[in-house]
Structure 1
């Protein structure tokens, strides 16, 4: 096989059949002749006579045989690489390193990615130590610019993907840092090398923690980065400020002397740069400062509440000390808007607004007066940029300062702000709607319901008819007003918003009638309607019930629209509309509750029509199931009438290999269990067969397992002793799942999965114990394994931070004890951890329900111990 020609055909052939044939050849070679295939790819990469595209594809193909995004595939491919003959590996490594000196940057870039993929496997195993030596040598001053750039890019890629806690990788940190400092130094004549070095530094910062702890080495790093901020090359300046932000995030504790000596001045100067990218990165530096200090403040509060004073980091209050210089600069940057920029374009003004919000959270009341002066000086300016900046500034400081200080200010600001809802500038109106939404969300006590609310509603109704951007923010404001003013709406006869429901529903329905969803305005209108429904008081229930008729009519109309689809955009638009309508309908069903019984037949017919006619690769199925779950929850065991016709759709979804669809279907099974109670026993054999089949599949997404285990508990609690035939099999599955535990190599992501799995096992045990309460003899052989599992998870500190988990575990201990009044399980209750976790559940920070559960569990434990 002429590998060069095959690669060329795979990427450059204009004939689709030729391309497909070449791709098939490559796939077959990888499967049937793996080592020779790697050798051919290596030869193609090494051959400087080959076309650039061919060499790049050869490098990418090699990399893709070594690493992958999917963790399971990545591990398998790493094991395969490790098992390769040493000679084959050495040839590929040598070619990849040699290719870094290529005069073609694109080929060198591909080689850098290949080297990083190999290094990700070998460095943690203390293999390929000569790589670092070569990379350091390649960055020396006398080397060609292209070689230095490619080598520094390689270091950046290695550090980006490697584990910063792995000793094998960390052992190379000195070499990496030497190369980076050589490349980033001011004596390096080319900006492209310095920029690449700074980007590599950002990726390497977690690896050089030990170096950063040494004053001399830290000083060199900081000096090199600070000098780069003074370069005439704006791209280099921006990279330097980005590096400073990352350093601040990781090494705040070391930053005090550098802030005092240089960083205050350098960053303020950078914020004032005429280059937008430089200014944005300098602003981002101060956003990082505020984020770090906010986090420190939160940690200090937690330590104080737990009585652990003096723990954690110390805050140097950099933002507070720098406010006199930074705040005026931030406020002035708010006026650097671009009239033609889209919402996706991150501008200096947007960065400044985000930073101002963080400053407000960090410094509190200190920020108010200076910001108010800016607002009053610019709110009525002839320049739209200054008017918009004034509104943005006011909205940005509403989270952080004392609400009591802001309350009176909002009353003063509202009239002129509402006037600006008629402003000729779209940007001004958009920001005003956002600002009023912030007032409603954060300082609702500043809005006088009698005096201010009528004019606010009037302005919002007007804004709903405006540009989609304005309409979207008006919807958000309506949601905030409703949530804040009607928190107890469902329990009340009348709410502060009741008199506005009719006009708001009518206006939102009109806004939601758009054929498109520009700026998410249609979706926002339906979300606002949902919020009105969720928090509706009793006096507006007729309006809510009437709304359901309109929603059903619109949903039925989408079935006809599906016949007129001519493009993928049409498909996306209709699916988005269906999802919006189903979301609103679900909330209406939940709000009206059992009153939905009279329309249940019509709703279920519509839902099954939607399932029957759903488009290929449709996203709407999950939302249909959620709506069906709401019907089941509303009508209880009457839902049994629809099970025969609905079951085929449900089983198909349970067997769907797509994770989200399957998960939603499992959740619906749980809803059905709660609704049908013991009557779900007729469908249990089918459910359990499907669940066990999924759990046996090796390629099933691991995330589905916790959902299924939890649902098994729902089934057990619903059918009671009818769960007996499944008990042994399910307990075996739970026992096997409980063996999964973290080790030193466990990633945070996998640790989260383990916690979710453990939580689902607890849910399953709770359901099984509740269901078999009247069959305690059947359950007795499994009590000791249950206790063994609970003993393990009570040492899981992250999991035990969850009040709901502690309540479930303690409730389970109480339930089991009460099932065996003769003391059959008494020895288990003498374990120290049992008393300890019951004691933990009585923590003063927990809810009354959890404390009551703990008290009851303690009483049951005492009864066991007295046997």
Structure 2
């Protein structure tokens, strides 16, 4: 009966009637929850049964896959526990049945079987199960009919392990690499298998770092790419995508080979199709963003000639898709960020822009505006005087409007003085565009935001730049401030109306509008302070409306409403900072309502807002504690990070008054630090917060010395090779934490008892290699220990002298200087 019920639900899930589909989904979920083992067994049987109709196979395969893997960490953990609880013989039987569908002639079916097995392997491998997965996949590859499913299984497994776990691939990396490569270099195999192999390789790249440290592996990979690209046009494009990802991930390993790779890449410029051009432009964007100055400069003229051609919009130009025009613009920006001579100052580039801009042809002006916006950089006012006038004259023309507005926004950001004389016109025109909700409202809002940001930047400068006479700059700024102050109320009304009228799904426009609002508020002068009193009430009203909406919203609409709510929370924080009075009493209840609402990013934004005004909100800590306690152990990365940072801010602000809260929060921080489910990149920040708490509590922190030293010992004992960057971050932050603790509890008898243990731990760290930042932190800790304890606890031994010499021979100038200074402090015999 249960199987019949499952099949009935599966058929109903395919029906056009929404109510029937919903009932079916609820029924499927109920059956899965009731008996996971029986449910999975039936899904596999239906999916692999040769008598099942294709539609039934597809829907059962999709549900099977989704019952083995979820992006939600809590659900994924539950799936793992349920799957691992199955009898081992049953697990093996289910896997064998799934593998039986690897050779199904229907592409959707064999790919679903591959992804399902990949998700099973993702569950089992971290639990020391299915140890022969990669070896068995290599064996199944001998049957060409199974190849596509094999590659899907390996790719899905590797991608999930990379993204979601700390699985170490060292023992299987060579096997994965060889499995992928053998199809690329085998000329007998058809294009579909080669494409599956490329996809698998791209999903597995991060697992192969140890492989690509061997030059022979890089040569083998490049040979396979070259071989595959020659098969047909589609594989040429896919090969370039794969090569781009390879360069993006492993550029540091590829530096000796980059000129050879460039020579190979440049052969593709003769292929006329847009997809190939996009990948070539992406390649140069990646190389530029990697900071490869030598390679970019050596190929600059040749590359720019192709980039300028790609900037032209063809007859089939589609604004909604990623195309050569957009890729060329992004590429120009990236190149401009790395070249020794900024592109606008390069004669050939300026002449191209100047010629096209003054041509009078709208399409050529459009291209020139995009090029100008892509390469404009600071201190270019002299070159821009004539060009800005052309942009302004064409900023409302249908052909050139979007590009001219975008270029003007970039100029307002980088060369503000070049637009000052046009400021009244720019404010008038951009406000008109925004007020009437024209298509270009987003670009118009960014112009206003960039104007306000630039004024704020100059307002906060101790010294004005020297490339323009200071008196002239002061005249420009006075004039600009006067213009903003005269139109402050009008601009505010325009932006508020636009945020009210913006479509909920138009997040791009909303980001620009709220950015402009925030930057305008930061320019509020004394005469407009009364407006802020009213505006903060308006903001609170919008927060309250959004909280009600988000609590009522279905899952589909929550991301949209939380975005709106988050923007109003951020805006409320900006207003509170600019008001000349305490806003915390006004904002406390709305913020608490957000914290009580459904989990959204707005909760994290509330914690950030409180952190920025922590001294005003610290008297209300008792009201905030239930929520901080809840969220300091949550699994949402943004909320958790914001809660951890808030704890540090509260400790710094309240000092010893934070003691009572610390007795409750420190155990929770330790729990979060030790949790395997918490994103590991957040754990170093927890150590930093421990240091903040130690400095705040002073001698009262003594009761936490035991647990602090336990954390120190655990991090000292970690193998740096297992995850170098992560371990380095932990080491740096735990050393800073210990330094803070020592400084506040140095007179404690217990700390004296722990000193040899700390010194021995430092010696271990020094002997196992460290990042520059960790070495610097160790050096500072040693100096502090020396000032507190003199030469006691072996703090004047040869090991310190050796460490200082090691720092002197580093390539970091700051660390070398710190080591030189330290030699003056330590007195070695």
Name the structure 2 match of 1:424. Answer: 398
- Measured against aligned partners, the alpha-carbon deviations of 1:702-737 in whole angstroms (never above 9, x if no partner) come to 56654444333322212322223x234433543354
Q: Which moved more, 1:616-625 or 1:693-702?
A: 693-702
Structure 2: how far apart are the matches of 1:348 and 1:855? Answer: 52
- SS of structure 2 residue aligned to 1:612: helix
CA distance in 1, matches of 2:35, 2:538: 54
| CA offsets 1:497-536 (integer angstroms, 9 cap, x no match) | 53344146435422133314445444433323434566x6
Aligned to 2:116: 114
Q: How many Å separate the matches in 2 of 1:346 and 1:778?
A: 63
1:6 aligns with 2:12: no
* Structure 1 residues 791 and 64, CA gap change in structure 2 (3 angstroms): farther
Contact residue 611 and residue 646 of structure 2 kept, 8 A: yes
- The corresponding residue for 2:470 is none
| Cα shift at 1:845 | 6.3
- Identify which of 229, 232, 235 aligns with 1:228: 232
- Please state if 1:320 is matched with 2:263: no
Task: Find the aligned partners of 1:658 and 1:259 in 2 and give their Cα distance.
Answer: 41
Give the deviation of 1:106 after TM superposition.
Answer: 2.2
- 2:772 pairs with 1:801: yes
1:820 aligns with 2:789: yes
C-alpha deviation, 1:138, in angstroms: 1.3
Would you say the 8 A contact 2:540–2:572 is kept in 1? no
Indicate if the aligned counterparts of 1:527 and 1:580 stay in contact, CA closer than 8 A: no
Aligned to 1:287: 282
Separation (CA, whole Å) in 2 of partners of 1:200 and 1:696: 33
Are residues 39 and 318 of structure 1, via their aligned partners in 2, closer, same or farther at CA, if it must alter by over 3 Å? farther
| Aligned with residue 512 of structure 1, among 496, 501, 511 | 496
User: Does 1:832 find its partner at 2:799?
Assistant: yes
Change in CA separation of 1:211 and 1:173 when aligned onto 2, cut-off 3 Å: farther
Structure 2 stretches lacking a partner, 5+ long: 14-19, 163-167, 464-473
1:312 paired residue number: none
Deviations 1:566-595 (A, max 9, x none): 756987666545433432443454567xx5
Equivalent residue for 2:695?
Answer: 717
Aligned to 2:50, the other structure's residue is in SS state coil
Question: 2:738 matched to which residue of 1?
Answer: 765
Q: Secondary structure at the match of 1:555?
A: helix
Q: CA deviation at 1:123?
A: 12
1:806 Cα deviation from its structure 2 partner: 5.4
Tell me the SS of whatever aligns to 2:290: helix
Distance 2:810 2:89 in 1: 62
Deviation at 1:837, TM superposition (A): 5.1
- The 3 A distance-change label for structure 1 pair 674 and 294 is closer
Correspondences of 1:779-798 after superposition (within 5 Å): 779-794=751-766
Matched, 1:619 2:601: yes
| CA shift digits 1:108-158 (9 cap, x unpaired) | 12122234456774999456646434424416xxxxxxx675566567657
Report the alpha carbon displacement of residue 417 of structure 1 after superposing the two structures with TM: 0.9
CA shift in 2, pair 1:483/1:269, >3 Å: same
What does the per-residue CA deviation read over 1:732-791, in whole Å, with 9 as the maximum and x for residues that have no partner? 5433542552365x35xxx54444433442343233223225x34342122233333434
Give the whole-Å Cα distance in 1 for the aligned partners of 2:619 and 2:48.
70
Q: 2:105 is matched with which residue: 103, 126, 133?
A: 103
Query: 1:586 maps to which residue?
Result: 573
Distance in 2 (CA, whole Å) between partners of 1:392 and 1:503 is 32
> Residues 530 and 219 of structure 1: is their aligned pair in 2 closer, same or farther, counting only changes over 3 Å?
closer
Match of 2:376, SS state, is: coil
The structural deviation recorded for 1:39 is 5.8
Alignment match of 2:533 (pick from 549, 564, 579): 549
Aligned-pair Cα RMSD in Å: 4.8
Q: TM-score, normalised by structure 2?
A: 0.78
Whole-angstrom CA distance in 1 between matches of 2:286 and 2:560: 38
Q: Is the contact made by 2:281 and 2:327 (CA closer than 8 Å) also made in structure 1?
A: no
Aligned with 2:324 (options 342, 348, 365): 348
Q: Where does residue 591 of structure 2 map in the other structure?
A: 610
Provide closer, same or farther for how the CA distance between residues 365 and 124 of structure 1 changes in structure 2, counting only shifts above 3 A. farther
CA distance in 2, matches of 1:158, 1:560: 44
Contact 2:659 2:700 in 1 (8 A): yes
1:266-302 deviation line (CA, Å, top 9, x unaligned): x3333x33xxxxx13333223304532663635x7xx
CA distance in 2, matches of 1:854, 1:214: 39
Equivalent in the alignment of 1:665: 643
CA contact (8 A) 1:814 1:858 kept: no
The range that moved more, 456-465 or 827-836, is 456-465
Is the CA contact 1:242–1:281 (under 8 Å) kept in the aligned structure 2? no
- Cα deviation, 1:44-99, whole Å, max 9, x if unaligned, reads 34320123355446556666787776899989999998998886566445433431
- Report the CA distance shift for 1:717/1:643 in structure 2 as closer, same or farther (over 3 A): same
Q: Does the residue aligned with 1:829 lie in a helix, a strand or coil?
A: coil
Decide whether aligned partners of structure 1 residues 474 and 784 sit closer, same or farther in structure 2, where only a CA change above 3 A counts.
Answer: farther
CA contact (8 A) 1:622 1:661 kept: yes
Of the candidates 372, 379, 384, which is equivalent to residue 394 of structure 1?
A: 372
Corresponding residue for residue 704 of structure 2: 727
- How far, CA to CA, are the matches of 1:131 and 1:201 in structure 2? 14
Q: Does the 8 Å contact 1:582/1:624 carry over to 2?
A: yes
- The 3 A distance-change label for structure 1 pair 415 and 384 is closer
Q: 1: CA distance between counterparts of 2:69 and 2:186? A: 30
Q: Deviations over 1:816-861 (max 9, x none)?
A: 333335x433x133252466359849999667xx999777765654
Q: CA offsets, 1:304-332, max 9 Å, x none?
A: xxxxxxxxxxx496743634862453233
CA contact (8 A) 1:242 1:282 kept: no
Q: TM-score, normalised by structure 1?
A: 0.75
1:408 counterpart (382, 387, 395):
382
The CA distance in 1 between the partners of 2:573 and 2:161, in whole Å, is 45
Structure 1 partner of 2:468: none
CA distance in 2, matches of 1:486, 1:791: 48
Cα distance per residue 1:240-264 (max 9 Å; x no partner) = 553564576666866767876x754
Unaligned runs of 5+ in 1: 140-146, 230-234, 274-278, 301-314
Decide whether aligned partners of structure 1 residues 851 and 450 sit closer, same or farther in structure 2, where only a CA change above 3 A counts.
farther
CA, structure 1 residues 521+85, in 2 after alignment: closer, same or farther (shift >3 Å)?
closer
Q: CA deviation at 1:346?
A: 1.6
Query: Which residue of structure 2 lines up, in the alignment, with residue 476 of structure 1?
Result: 446
- Give the C-alpha shift of residue 415 in structure 1: 0.8
Cα distance in 2 for partners of 1:19, 1:486 equals 54
Q: How far did residue 441 of structure 1 move?
A: 3.9
SS at match of 1:422: coil
- The CA deviation at 1:393 is 1.8
Work out the CA distance in 2 between the residues paired with 1:605 and 1:156: 52
Query: What corresponds to 2:467 in structure 1?
Result: none
Query: How many angstroms apart in 2 are the aligned matches of 1:254 and 1:640?
Result: 56
Please tell me whether the aligned partners of residues 353 and 392 of structure 1 are also in contact (alpha carbons under 8 angstroms).
yes
| C-alpha distance in structure 1 between counterparts of 2:79 and 2:548, whole Å | 46
Report matched runs for 1:514-533 at 5 Å.
514=498, 515-517=500-502, 518=506, 520-531=508-519
Inter-CA distance 432–504: structure 2 relative to 1 (3 Å threshold): farther
